[in-house]
Amino acid sequence: MSRLHAQWTEQLNSLTMLYLSIKTANPTCAPVHYLEPLPDSNYVKIWCIDIFDGRLHEYIPWGGTDNCMHALLHAGYLPPTPTDPQVAFSLRTLDLLHSLFWVASNFGIQSFSRLLTDMHKTVFQHHLKTQLSLAFDMYYRILSQLHGLVQRELGHDVPDHRLKHSCPACHYKVENEQERPVQFIITGNGNTSLSWLHHHFEVLKSIHDGEHQTKEDPLVSTISDACLAWKNAQPIPLKSKAGALQVMDETGIFSVVCRHGIVQFLADMVQSGELAKYSLASTEKLIGMFGKNILFAYDVGCMS
């Protein structure tokens, strides 16, 4: 499977650019049905599955020297394997599956495979689900790569882009606007509504010289000893009422919003109640990002 992934990765950039040109010229990505070629011409004969056209043999013109994947993609198909494919799915079929996942995240490839066989009046075969899954994985990688390119072109791939542009009224300035004593008014608070039980896979355990090292909370490491001496910054006692939260890994979120009610960012509260470190870390983040003239309204009585 890793070899298959590596082979796809080698072609990812070229397939992404080709998909972009095809999508631009043919937005519906309808398959191209070529006529049966002459005996002396080069072509690829392959089973193709389309949501509307069903399962049919296609003759895809192929020079033989260029990439076979490019020839298939030009015809509107994507196979599950990059080498010697025996079957391919149409792009509009994969696009439909992608849209179904967007509107119904619990929708499964198994259901879609059975839908295809039911529509085309064929017998369901288990390998169809595997083939479809592999083809969709590559299709999704192409879409993700394309999304990354668009984000880069728009300049949205820089760190904290969302924070910098979250509220136009707070973060945008008009020309010759005078600086005011308070430019940016925000508030923050925590809640325990979004809690998660501990998951083993979320603990980073690296075996180093025979010892296990656990991932440290980055927020804790930034707090000095003097600050930890403060009662509100200490961990929750096991026997306290709030100690019940210790069965949780993430106990809630600490949200920071501007005066227009637009969320600036959220911080996970990890194995603790609402402690001072969350407001302090939020303040540090805001100062680092926006500099001065910030008014951060926070009720310290909220801290446990």
- Binding residues for Zn ion, rule: CB under 5 A, are 167, 169-170, 258, 260
Residue 182 Cβ vs Zn ion, minimum distance, rounded to whole Å? 13
The pairing of strands 196-197 and 248-258 is antiparallel
Tell me the H-state helices in 154-228.
161-164, 168-171, 218-221, 225-228
Give the closest residue to 132 by CA, choosing from 7, 48, 8, 26: 48
Token representation of residue 202: 């979320």
Residue 280 Cβ vs Zn ion, minimum distance, rounded to whole Å? 22
The pairing of strands 248-258 and 184-191 is antiparallel
- Which CB atom, from 170 or from 266, has the smaller least distance to Zn ion? 170
- Which CB atom, from 152 or from 162, has the smaller least distance to Zn ion? 162
- Which CB atom, from 133 or from 166, has the smaller least distance to Zn ion? 166
Give the angle 109-111-115 at the CA atoms, nearest 5°: 115
Give the closest residue to 37 by CA, choosing from 18, 64, 76, 19: 64
Residue 263 Cβ vs Zn ion, minimum distance, rounded to whole Å? 10
Residue 166 Cβ vs Zn ion, minimum distance, rounded to whole Å? 8
- Which CB atom, from 18 or from 258, has the smaller least distance to Zn ion? 258
- Which CB atom, from 38 or from 169, has the smaller least distance to Zn ion? 169
- Which CB atom, from 166 or from 191, has the smaller least distance to Zn ion? 166
Cα diameter, the chain: 85
Residue 290 Cβ vs Zn ion, minimum distance, rounded to whole Å? 12
- Which CB atom, from 120 or from 171, has the smaller least distance to Zn ion? 171
Residue 262 Cβ vs Zn ion, minimum distance, rounded to whole Å? 5
Torsion of Cα atoms, 195 then 199 then 201 then 206, to 10°: 100
Residue 156 Cβ vs Zn ion, minimum distance, rounded to whole Å? 19
Q: List strand residue ranges (DSSP E) for the chain, in order.
A: 43-50, 54-61, 77-78, 87-90, 184-191, 196-197, 206-208, 211-213, 248-258, 263-270, 294-297
Give the angle 181-182-186 at the CA atoms, nearest 5°: 165
